[in-house]
A and B are shown apart, each in its own frame.
Chain A
């Protein structure tokens, strides 16, 4: 699986958009970009994933650059409950592939 690089921590004001970057310059053509988050004392939770096109769901938007070497997760109106560690993972969807996590970004949403 391709390696990802994320900032260690970020702050965001409540009600503003939170933009979390991820670099994955060695991503392969069949690898997807996944985002998970982990709120304190809970197991990680899936947020969104994409291959080439931008994706949006009820939780977030995922913007992937044209060369696929980086992506940004956008939480459009961050709330205090969005304070968590956010993990960017790149992974092919081949059967039986493992799922490994990097260090993630600790997002602190402040009032």
Chain B
């Protein structure tokens, strides 16, 4: 059974904290994605990685960075969390020339 696992389902952090959201996939996929989802705004792509140590900015990269040191793991980093980063964060993976992407269950992050 294919799996994309996000480290936390719910997370509460304080303004200014450094936050790590972790995503692991067990399908040996090359592509990995980070999205955020907000009411009325749909799914927006933050960052995309197509290989280890490779990354591309998505539609809304500001305030975020990513790390992909190993093929199976893609981390989203909020260097200094702010309240406007309160959101649902979704990770996905797909093979290099893919037909479908697989999503994790999401992390609901609240920044207070």
Beyond contacts A42-B105, A99-B45: 4 other A-B pairs, Cβ-Cβ < 8 A, are A44-B101, A46-B101, A101-B42, A104-B42
Given A43-B90, A45-B103, are A98 and B98 neighbors across the interface (CB < 8 Å)? Answer: no
Q: Is B94 an interface residue (CB 8 A)?
A: yes
CB <8 Å contact, A43 and B45: no
Output the least CB separation between B56 and chain A (Å).
7
Partner of A94, one of B45, B58, B97: B97
Q: Is B84 an interface residue (CB 8 A)?
A: no
State how many residues of chain A have any CB contact under 8 Å with chain B. 22
Per the bound structure, the CA–CA distance linking A101 and B99 in Å amounts to: 15
User: Which A residues are in CB contact (< 8 Å) with B100?
Assistant: 34, 46, 49
CB <8 Å contact, B92 and A43: yes
CB <8 Å contact, A98 and B42: no
| Proximity string of chain B (27-71) to chain A, C-beta cutoff 8 Å, 1 when within and 0 when not | 000010101000000111100101000001011000000000000
Q: Is B20 an interface residue (CB 8 A)?
A: no
User: Which A residues are in CB contact (< 8 Å) with B48?
Assistant: 98-99
Per the bound structure, the CA–CA distance linking A93 and B94 in Å amounts to: 11
Chain B residue at smallest Cβ distance from A46: B100
Per the bound structure, the CA–CA distance linking A99 and B105 in Å amounts to: 17
Q: Is A96 an interface residue (CB 8 A)?
A: yes
Partner of B31, one of A49, A96, A103: A96
CB <8 Å contact, B105 and A95: no
CB <8 Å contact, B99 and A93: yes
Q: Is A7 an interface residue (CB 8 A)?
A: no
Residue of A45, A99, A102 with highest tally of chain B CB at under 10 A:
A99
User: Which A residues are in CB contact (< 8 Å) with B104?
Assistant: 43
Given A43-B106, A101-B42, A104-B42, are A95 and B96 neighbors across the interface (CB < 8 Å)? Answer: yes
CB <8 Å contact, A42 and B106: yes
Q: Which of A77-111 contact B (CB under 8 A)?
A: 87, 93-96, 98-104
User: Which A residues are in CB contact (< 8 Å) with B50?
Assistant: 95-96
Output the least CB separation between A17 and chain B (Å).
24
User: Which B residues are in CB contact (< 8 Å) with A98?
Assistant: 33, 45, 48, 56, 58
